Structure 1
Amino acid sequence: MSLFETIVVALWAMLPAYVPNNAAVLAGGGRPIDGGRTWGDRRLLGDGKTWRGTAVGVAAGAALAVALSALAPAASAAVGVDFPTFPAAVAVALPAGAMAGDIAASFLKRRTGRERGAAFPGLDQLDFVVFSLLFAFVAAPAWFGAVFTLPVLAVVVVATPLLHVGTNAVAYALGLKNEPW
């Protein structure tokens, strides 16, 4: 696989994990997952992690995976790259993992004394990647091994922080986020 093909496959395969957090921001609000509970003197997660945002994020990522699977044959023919399709379990696992990673990062931020929206370099950019890949591996190990080869994983780990910072800066500029990270 050429470098171009590796990059394109990596981004295609991760799109269902890239979309959920952005969809959650747009649809956020509602009842917090932690119900306002605390651990010691800090909230478990905070008001930014809601049931509605999580559900919408997972649904948006799964819908995108279904759409990408439908588009894969035509896109493959047009671009000359063998785009993967997403089994149903993976279509849900990638976005669910992304949301779980974001929730886990929120928990870690609260435990380390960071407030909602505070930066946590590294964790902010890769939390959802680690969990989405783990969920996808558990859901469909053979599919995962065929799609997420070592070169594809390397592209994901390098490209994701760059994409994350860029998309968050755009969301901040548009007034959709309160901080640019």
Structure 2
Amino acid sequence: MVVETVVVAIWAMLPAYIPNNVAVLAGGGRPIDDGRTLDDGRRVLGDGKTWRGTAVGTAAGVAVALVLNRLHPFVSGVVVADPFPIAAAVSLAFGAMLGDIAASFLKRRTGLERGAAFPGIDQLDFVAGALLSTAVVATGWFLDTFTLPVVVAIVVLTPLLHVLTNALAYAVGLKDEPW
């Protein structure tokens, strides 16, 4: 039961796990906030949140969901989860990007600079965005897939995966900081 829950958690979240990683690789270009600041004198989001990164990250997450749908018939005995409807694929991927963008906004409001550690938020911002947007956009699939044990597995596993992937990206020179 535990292994099945973990497998479903990772499978269901893959379209949300991928976008921010791809955005780092494909980012650059025009910042979403266009360099604007708020009354506090701080940037709205910063240079790290770009239109290109958001679009490419979202597209990558949707592509992952579509690939998983193609694989589903071959793994349905192992992965006990329904295929991704397009609404779920888009909301998981775009919701992950929105969660990360929201965290960037919070970082700027609290005076943290781009790349500064924001424990807890850094690890779960995209999860919250993905789950919330999917609950709204693909409610039936969300309720069938994200049972309480699956959500608990996601909340426990994601910070571990986040730390591991960020440390790896830092080690190979893709990130300037290991968090």
Q: TM-score, normalising length from structure 2?
A: 0.97
How far apart are residue 62 of structure 1 and its match?
0.3
Equivalent residues, number: 178
Distance apart, 1:34 and its partner CA: 0.1
* Structure 2 partner of 1:82: 80
Contact 1:65 1:86 in 2 (8 A): yes
Paired amino acid for 1:152: V
Considering only aligned residues, what root-mean-square deviation do their CA atoms show, in Å? 0.8
> Residue 132 of structure 1: CA displacement?
0.2
| AA of the residue aligned to 2:29 | G
**One-letter code aligned to 1:64:** V
Would you say the 8 A contact 1:98–1:131 is kept in 2? yes
Contact 1:101 1:131 in 2 (8 A): yes
Q: Give the letter aligned to residue 47 of structure 2.
A: D
CA distance in 2 between partners of 1:15 and 1:3 (Å) = 18
In the aligned structure 2, how far is the partner of 1:86 from the partner of 1:137? 13
Asked if 1:97 corresponds to 2:113, the answer is no
Question: Do the aligned partners of residues 55 and 81 (structure 1) sit closer, same or farther apart at CA in structure 2, a change above 3 Å counting?
Answer: closer
Shift of 1:83: 3.5
Q: Give 1:75 shift.
A: 1.6
Matches within 5 A, 1:1-181: 2-39=1-38, 40-77=40-77, 80-181=78-179
TM-score with structure 1 setting the length = 0.96
Task: State whether residues 11 and 79 of structure 2, in contact with CA within 8 Å, keep that contact through their aligned partners in structure 1.
Answer: no
Cα distance in 2 for residues equivalent to 1:113 and 1:22: 24
Q: Is contact 1:13-1:84 (8 Å) kept?
A: no
Matched to 1:104, the amino acid is A
Letter paired with 1:148: F
Structure 1: give runs of 5+ residues left out of the alignment: none
Residue identity in the other structure for 2:6: I
How far does the alpha carbon of each residue in 1:83-118 deviate from its partner, in whole angstroms, 9 at most, with x for none? 431001011000100000000000000000000000
Distance 2:117 2:175 in 1: 13
Q: Secondary structure at the match of 1:43?
A: coil
Tell me the distance in 2 between the aligned counterparts of 1:173 and 1:64.
25
Q: Percent identity?
A: 68
1:39-95: CA deviation from partner (whole Å, max 9, x where unpaired): 121100000000000000000000000110110110224xx3324310010110001
- Measure the CA separation in 2 of the matches of 1:91 and 1:124: 22
SS of match in other structure, 1:114: coil
Shift of 1:27: 0.2
Q: Find the aligned partners of 1:117 and 1:102 in 2 and give their Cα distance.
A: 12
- Equivalents in 2 of 1:7, 1:29: separation in Å? 34
Unaligned runs of 5+ in 2: none
